Amino acid sequence: MCERCVREEYPDRESLCVDQGSYMINFFKCCQCGAQDMTTVNRSCTDSGDEEIITYHHVCSQCDHVIAEHEHTFRIEEEFQIYSMSCMLCGSAEDQRSIMPIDPRGPAM
């Protein structure tokens, strides 16, 4: 992971947890070659029964320099779906969604 390629390390994304794509506005440029274009590679999904983990790398599309490693997790705890994301480029976030038709916590604010 390369802190010289991003504008801000691990920006707070509140509840926005993505399992694909890139937060391009936070990408400065590749510190190796200066390119301003990237792609994602090495996507893998691990399902351990009660937790799903998706990981992939953001890399420079010109020189394959690794910019950041993206990790997205999903699990179910009691009546909630729990999502989290950790990536130097895309940021950090956590979210909970009720699996019930009506959220027992009440309407979202």
Name the pTM for this structure: 0.87
More confident residue, 98 or 65: 65
Which three-class secondary structure string do you get for 7-34? CCCCCECCCCCCCCCCCHHHECCCCCCC
> What percentage of the chain reaches a pLDDT higher than 70?
93
pLDDT interval class at 48 (50, 70, 90):
confident
Which residue is it, tokens 């009691």? 78
Please tell me the predicted confidence (pLDDT) of residue 105: 67
Residue 55's identity, in one-letter code, is T
For residues 30-35, average pLDDT: 94
For residues 9-24, average pLDDT: 92
Checking if the pLDDT of 1 tops 80, the result is no
Checking if the pLDDT of 100 tops 80, the result is no
> Where does residue 50 rank: exposed (0-12), middle (13-18), buried (19+ CB within 10 A)?
exposed
Please give the full DSSP string across 49-75, using - where no structure is assigned: SSEEEEEEEEEETTT--EEEEEEEEEE
Both structure tokens of 40: 């994602």
Q: Which DSSP category does 6 fall into? A: B
- Separation CA 93–CA 42 (nearest Å): 22
Please tell me the predicted confidence (pLDDT) of residue 108: 59
